[in-house]
């Protein structure tokens, strides 16, 4: 675990004290046998085969569309558990976020509140905002507000190498900073240079989105 | 956190005080370079030769068949890359197993992807064992090298090295060839298993100082006389030019002592650890539902326990145990960018879900019965807690 160290290399533990606190004392996870009837939206992302799976249960106030309750279960590493726990606090504190506000929540917001995560662990934290958006869509689906559903389908960027915007996002999250590094991971544009400007734009976008 | 229970001896061992004792002079007054002509250099050279002889005696080989390296990885790399490159005119087929250490696997992949070799990766059975007949079936006239690890670093399974060595030797005789040669990575075996090269019928053997209560940064490769290797580094005549660079004298002195002690104590330590190992295995399987032992239940190292705790992810458990003062490791590489779980557990035919939840406990000199009791008492509530926050419920079929 040599590569999982605190940002400033000063802490003896691998994660910040806040991460540690949320990891050892996770907030808002859903207990076995709890009545799930009161929730009016659910979301799911990942699978245990990829090493992370997250499910969320959400109770939204139909009048204000604020998130009153946000409960979860996570299969994943320390960062995944802590990020989900922190996300559940962020979306429900101060009377709860509106669904519009919640949809704008970025992984970086959660990471900031956690006092940072090791670079290698950033991908673990992106699951919770994806699950959150999945639950938001589910709420709109259930309340028949179909126009508000925003699908997160991936878009093919390089039809030759079959690389999608999601693949580029993953490469950036895994630490690729430049076009060359993204190409090493994805082979994007190697047989199809015409897509390169779009790729560079996406790299900038995801770097901005996740690393500010 | 007062209590510290170190159960990661397969990762590395502390230096035995008796080993440290013999090393200390070489960190102070006996600092000479063995290549120097003066008294200090001569002393270093003589002491290094003495260590080499000690090791040769334990392995039942000649001193000039021992080559010192920086550790297990370098020895594995030199054995595989060095042999394959020097002998490719005889054939370009190599055989290994899917559960080798990455130092072997990555070297094989390098040869396969970049240098035109063909590699057969044998898949072990569900217990992690490779059979002699699998080797026999895979052997071809152009097979120049077979590499099978003695004992697996993750699941502790011990492979039938003697029997494999035997069939390879016979194959050579029948085909009247000097190949294939047989390499084994014995890094995890040195504290528990027989290392008599003549009995094992191996031609190349890797050992590492830091897995047997010796220092880190030192390893060796046994190379049967007559075998030609291409060096990986250049720049001097040390180690017959096969491994140039000033010798790690203090490491060599330490490794010789460590290997001597390890081999002398191996039966006693085996008898002491097997009951502790089995107590830990049985204790976990009995008290915690949805757990599975990875690797064969008896044909395994006396110090290795590898368990999959279903429905939870290994790293989270490692960190919870760490907070309780118990130091273990996960087979699953959640810390790597690839997110790939243990290639060893996957090779047993287990699905990703099972591989992600595997934890390795490796016992050692300081491990006591009381330590095992503490682990068995600490584990169940931690597992229960992590399962309560997990959405995953892996199907029963994977752990029965």
Instruction: Give the pLDDT confidence of A144-196 residue by residue, as tens digits.
Output: 999 998 877 677 888 777 788 888 888 888 888 888 888 887 778 877 788 88
Distances, alpha carbon B146 to alpha carbons A134, B126, B208, B281, in Å: 51, 22, 20, 33
Q: What does the pLDDT read at residue B261?
A: 98
Q: For B392, which of A31, A75, A123 is closest by C-beta distance?
A: A75
User: From A30, which residue of chain B is nearest by alpha-carbon distance?
Assistant: B389
The minimum CA-CA distance between A63 and chain B, rounded to whole Å, is 30
Q: Six-digit token pair at B310?
A: 């279903």
Instruction: Flag whether residue A29 sits within 8 Å of chain B, measured between CB atoms.
Output: yes
| Tens-place pLDDT, residues A73-112 | 998 888 889 999 999 999 999 999 999 999 988 888 998 9
The minimum CA-CA distance between A109 and chain B, rounded to whole Å, is 22
- Taking CB atoms and an 8 Å cutoff, what residues of chain A touch B391? 44, 53-55, 73-75
Q: Do B391 and A73 touch (CB under 8 A)?
A: yes
Distances, alpha carbon B63 to alpha carbons A165, B59, B75, B96, in Å: 59, 10, 17, 28
**CATH 3.90.1150.10: which residues of chain B?**
5-12+265-398
Give the residue carrying structure tokens 């016992």. Answer: B363
- Taking CB atoms and an 8 Å cutoff, what residues of chain B touch A50? 339, 352
Confidence label for A205 from pLDDT (cuts 50, 70 and 90) = confident
Give the residue carrying structure tokens 């992690």. Answer: B128
The minimum CA-CA distance between A86 and chain B, rounded to whole Å, is 14
Confidence label for A12 from pLDDT (cuts 50, 70 and 90) = very low
Instruction: Flag whether residue B309 sits within 8 Å of chain A, measured between CB atoms.
Output: no
Instruction: Flag whether residue B395 sits within 8 Å of chain A, measured between CB atoms.
Output: no
Strand partners, A60: A67
Which of helix, strand or coil describes residue B299? coil
Distances, alpha carbon A125 to alpha carbons A13, A105, A178, B50, B391, in Å: 18, 12, 22, 55, 17
Instruction: Flag whether residue A17 sits within 8 Å of chain B, measured between CB atoms.
Output: no
- Taking CB atoms and an 8 Å cutoff, what residues of chain A touch B335? 1, 3-4, 120
Distance CA A107, CA B90 (A): 56
Q: What is the pLDDT along chain B (400 residues), one digit of tens a residue?
A: 578 999 999 999 999 999 999 999 999 999 999 999 999 999 999 999 999 999 999 999 999 999 999 999 999 999 999 999 999 999 999 999 999 999 999 999 999 999 999 999 999 999 999 999 999 999 999 999 999 999 999 999 999 999 999 999 999 999 999 999 999 999 999 999 999 999 999 999 999 999 999 999 999 999 999 999 999 999 999 999 999 999 999 999 999 999 999 999 999 999 999 999 999 999 999 999 999 999 999 999 999 999 999 999 888 999 999 999 999 998 644 444 345 678 899 899 888 778 888 999 999 999 999 999 999 999 999 999 999 999 888 776 665 5
What is the residue-averaged pLDDT of chain A?
Answer: 84
> Which are the catalytic amino acids of B?
334
Distance CA B260, CA B256 (A): 6
Instruction: Flag whether residue B316 sits within 8 Å of chain A, measured between CB atoms.
Output: yes
Q: What share of chain B is helix, strand, coil (3-state, %, to 5)?
A: 45, 15, 40
Q: Which residues 122-141 on chain A approach chain B with CB closer than 8 angstroms?
A: 123
Residue A37, pLDDT above cutoff 50: yes
Q: Do A73 and B356 touch (CB under 8 A)?
A: no
Which of helix, strand or coil describes residue B267? helix
Most confident of A114-118, A124-128, B14-18: B14-18
Confidence label for A45 from pLDDT (cuts 50, 70 and 90) = confident
User: Do A76 and A127 form a contact (C-beta atoms < 8 A)?
Assistant: yes
Confidence label for A1 from pLDDT (cuts 50, 70 and 90) = very low
User: Do B118 and B340 form a contact (C-beta atoms < 8 A)?
Assistant: no
Residue A5, pLDDT above cutoff 50: no
Fold that domain A156-211 belongs to in CATH: Arc Repressor Mutant, subunit A (1.10.10)
Residues ≥6 apart with Cβ < 8 Å to B293? B281, B285, B305, B306, B307
The minimum CA-CA distance between B321 and chain A, rounded to whole Å, is 11
Starting at the earlier edge strand, list the strands of the sheet with B118-122. B66-69, B219-223, B204-208, B181-185, B143-147, B93-97, B118-122
Helices B249-287 and B369-388, axial angle in degrees (round to 10): 60
Q: Six-digit token pair at B240?
A: 């017959």
Q: Do A23 and B391 touch (CB under 8 A)?
A: no
Q: What does the pLDDT read at residue A78?
A: 87
Q: Which helix (H) or strand (E) holds B33?
A: none
CATH 3.90.640.10 for domain B5-12+265-398: no
Q: What does the pLDDT read at residue B337?
A: 39
Q: Do B352 and A78 touch (CB under 8 A)?
A: no
Q: What is the CA radius of gyration of chain A?
A: 18
Q: Six-digit token pair at A30?
A: 């859903």
- Taking CB atoms and an 8 Å cutoff, what residues of chain A touch B290? none
Q: What does the pLDDT read at residue A191?
A: 75
Which of helix, strand or coil describes residue B348? coil
For A148, counting Cβ atoms within 10 Å of its Cβ (0-12 exposed, 13-18 middle, 19+ buried), the class is middle
Q: What does the pLDDT read at residue B356?
A: 84
Give the residue carrying structure tokens 């949320």. Answer: A22
Q: Six-digit token pair at A175?
A: 């630490």
Confidence label for A211 from pLDDT (cuts 50, 70 and 90) = confident
Q: For B334, which of A54, A72, A77 is closest by C-beta distance?
A: A77
Q: What does the pLDDT read at residue B150?
A: 98
Phi-psi region of B243 (alpha: psi -120 to 50; beta: other; left: phi over 0): beta
Q: Do B335 and A1 touch (CB under 8 A)?
A: yes
Distance CA A88, CA A111 (A): 13
User: Do B119 and B94 form a contact (C-beta atoms < 8 A)?
Assistant: yes
Q: What does the pLDDT read at residue B27?
A: 96
User: Do B281 and B307 form a contact (C-beta atoms < 8 A)?
Assistant: yes
| Tens-place pLDDT, residues A57-80 | 999 999 999 999 999 999 888 888
> Which are the catalytic amino acids of A?
50, 124
Distances, alpha carbon A65 to alpha carbons A17, A92, A105, A143, in Å: 33, 12, 16, 11
List the CATH code of the domain at A17-148: 3.90.1010.10
Q: Six-digit token pair at B375?
A: 């682990």
Please state whether beta strands B181-185 and B143-147 pair in parallel, antiparallel, or not at all (unpaired): parallel
Q: What is the ipTM score, two decimals?
A: 0.80
- Choose among B62, B121, B5, B71: nearest CA to B251: B71
Distance CA B244, CA B231 (A): 9
Q: Do A76 and B332 touch (CB under 8 A)?
A: no
Q: What does the pLDDT read at residue B335?
A: 41
Q: Six-digit token pair at B128?
A: 């992690």
Q: What does the pLDDT read at residue A120?
A: 67
Instruction: Flag whether residue A77 sits within 8 Å of chain B, measured between CB atoms.
Output: yes
B27 C-beta neighbours (distance < 10 Å), count: 11
Q: Domain residues of chain A, as ranges?
A: 17-148, 156-211
Q: Do A174 and B337 touch (CB under 8 A)?
A: yes
Q: What does the pLDDT read at residue B339?
A: 52
Q: Six-digit token pair at A194?
A: 């015409």
List the CATH code of the domain at B17-262: 3.40.640.10
């Amino acid at each position: 675990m040599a590569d999982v160290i605190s940002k400033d290399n000063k802490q003896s533990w691998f994660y910040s004290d806040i991460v540690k606190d949320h990891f050892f004392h996770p907030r808002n996870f859903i207990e076995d046998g709890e009545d799930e009837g009161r929730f009016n939206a659910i979301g799911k992302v990942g699978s245990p085969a990829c090493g992370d799976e997250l499910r969320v249960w959400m109770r939204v106030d139909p009048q204000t569309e604020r998130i009153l309750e946000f409960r979860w279960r996570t299969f994943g590493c320390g960062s995944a558990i802590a990020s989900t726990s922190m996300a559940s606090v962020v979306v429900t504190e101060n009377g709860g976020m509106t669904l519009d506000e919640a949809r704008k929540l970025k992984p970086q917001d959660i990471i900031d509140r956690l006092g940072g995560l090791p670079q290698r662990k950033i991908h673990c934290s992106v699951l919770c905002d994806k699950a959150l958006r999945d639950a938001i869509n589910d709420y709109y689906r259930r309340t028949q507000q179909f126009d508000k559903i925003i699908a997160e389908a991936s878009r093919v960027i390089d039809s030759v190498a079959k690389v999608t915007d999601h693949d580029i996002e993953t490469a950036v999250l895994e630490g690729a900073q430049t076009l060359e590094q993204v190409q090493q991971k994805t082979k994007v544009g190697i047989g199809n240079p015409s897509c390169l400007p779009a790729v560079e734009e996406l790299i900038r976008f995801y770097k901005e989105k996740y690393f500010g | 956190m007062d209590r510290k229970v170190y159960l990661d001896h397969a990762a590395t061992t502390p230096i035995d005080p008796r080993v440290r004792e013999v090393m200390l002079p070489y960190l102070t007054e006996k600092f000479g370079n063995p290549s120097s002509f003066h008294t200090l250099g001569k002393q270093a050279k003589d002491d290094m030769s003495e260590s080499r002889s000690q090791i040769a005696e334990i392995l039942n080989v000649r001193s000039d068949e021992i080559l010192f390296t920086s550790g297990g990885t370098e020895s594995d790399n030199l054995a595989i890359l060095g042999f394959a490159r020097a002998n490719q005119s005889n054939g370009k087929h190599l055989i290994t197993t899917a559960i080798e250490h990455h130092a072997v696997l990555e070297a094989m992949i390098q040869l396969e992807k970049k240098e035109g070799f063909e590699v057969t990766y044998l898949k072990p059975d569900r217990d992690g064992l490779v059979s002699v007949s699998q080797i026999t079936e895979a052997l071809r006239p152009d097979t120049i090298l077979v590499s099978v690890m003695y004992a697996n670093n993750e699941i502790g399974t011990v492979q039938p090295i003697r029997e494999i060595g035997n069939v390879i030797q016979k194959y050579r005789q029948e085909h009247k060839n000097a190949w294939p040669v047989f390499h084994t990575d014995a890094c995890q075996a040195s504290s528990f298993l027989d290392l008599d090269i003549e009995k094992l019928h191996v031609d190349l053997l890797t050992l590492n100082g830091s897995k047997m209560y010796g220092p880190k940064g030192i390893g060796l490769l046994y190379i049967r006389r007559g075998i030609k290797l291409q060096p990986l580094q250049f720049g001097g005549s040390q180690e017959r030019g096969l491994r140039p660079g000033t010798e790690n004298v203090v490491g060599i002195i330490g490794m010789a002592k460590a290997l001597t002690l390890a081999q002398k104590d191996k039966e006693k330590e085996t008898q002491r650890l097997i009951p502790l190992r089995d107590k830990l295995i049985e204790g976990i399987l009995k008290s915690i539902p949805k757990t599975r032992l990875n690797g064969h239940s008896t044909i395994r190292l006396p110090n290795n326990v590898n368990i999959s705790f279903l429905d939870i992810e290994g790293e989270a458990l490692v960190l919870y145990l760490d907070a309780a003062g118990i130091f273990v490791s996960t087979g699953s590489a959640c810390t790597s960018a690839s997110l790939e779980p243990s290639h060893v557990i996957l090779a047993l035919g287990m699905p990703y879900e099972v591989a992600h939840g595997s934890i390795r406990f490796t016992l050692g000199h300081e491990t006591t019965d009381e330590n095992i009791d503490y682990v068995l008492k600490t584990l169940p509530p931690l597992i229960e807690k992590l399962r309560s926050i997990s959405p995953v419920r892996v199907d029963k079929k994977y752990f029965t």
